[in-house]
Amino acid sequence: MEAFIDQFGYLAVGALILIENVFPPIPSEVILPLSGFLTTTSHLTLPGAIVAATAGSVLGAFILYGIGRVISRERLVAFFETRPMRLLGFTGADVERVVGWFETRGQLSVLLCRCVPGVRSLISIPAGTARMGVGRFTLYTLAGSLLWNTVLCGLGAAAGDAWHNVAGSVAWASDVLKLAVVALLAAGACWWVVRRAVPAWREDRA
């Protein structure tokens, strides 16, 4: 990856971040500190690397936003009204409530989640499904991505040859945060099974 960035410069940085947003084979926690470090040893500049990474982030986010637009509210409602989903305790009204919350109060999450590993890319899908305005989506995505990219590229440039340590520390913090998210999701799933799925099973049998 270092040779790839060194050879193709800003194009490589943007392309890697775009791919990482859609399908993360290599996390940005590694790409960005490395890119920052290379600004001290190659023709790359720190502002240029940040701009390239941010452009890749926004383009990748729009791909997922487009997927969300295809997965419309109407299709989700119809899917959650099927018998298998009803047996799991879901209804179309659940979709309406979630999408409604996102439309009225949740759009700021696009900005905040751009700095949260594990969900920073996925947040673009509900934004598309909720038909979030393109202008606001672009602004929030740009601002959150710019902050994330600036911090990690800056740390990589400041660390120099020790950029691996920065990448390792950020990756460790990301793993901890991801585990916390998984734990919360597991707790929520258990609550859902007890409060919604089990009563739905009993009602279906009756």
What pLDDT, on the 0 to 100 scale, is given for residue 24?
A: 66
DSSP H helices in the chain = 2-8, 10-22, 28-38, 46-70, 73-80, 83-87, 92-101, 108-113, 124-129, 134-159, 163-192, 198-205
Give dist(CA 6, CA 184) in Å, integer.
Answer: 40
Q: Is 82 helix (H, G, I), strand (E, B) or coil?
A: coil
Under 8 Å between Cβ of 68 and 129 = yes
What pLDDT, on the 0 to 100 scale, is given for residue 182?
A: 76
Number of domains in the chain: 1
Give dist(CA 70, CA 66) in Å, integer.
Answer: 6
What pLDDT, on the 0 to 100 scale, is given for residue 145?
A: 93
What does R_g of the chain's alpha carbons equal in angstroms? 20
> What is the DSSP-derived secondary structure letter of residue 114?
T
Which domain range does residue 158 map to?
2-205
- The number of residues making up the chain comes to 206
Q: Is 113 helix (H, G, I), strand (E, B) or coil?
A: helix
CA 71 and chain centroid, separation: 17
Interior angle at CA 120, CA 119 and CA 121, nearest 5:
90
Residue where the block lists tokens 């971040």: 17
Q: State the amino acid at position 68 in one-letter form.
A: G
Q: Is 28 helix (H, G, I), strand (E, B) or coil?
A: helix
Tens of pLDDT along the chain (206 residues) come to 778 888 889 999 999 999 988 886 678 888 999 999 999 998 999 999 999 999 999 999 999 999 988 887 788 888 878 888 777 777 878 778 777 777 777 778 888 888 777 677 888 888 888 888 899 999 999 999 999 999 999 999 999 888 888 878 877 776 776 677 778 878 887 887 777 778 878 777 76
> What is the DSSP-derived secondary structure letter of residue 160?
G
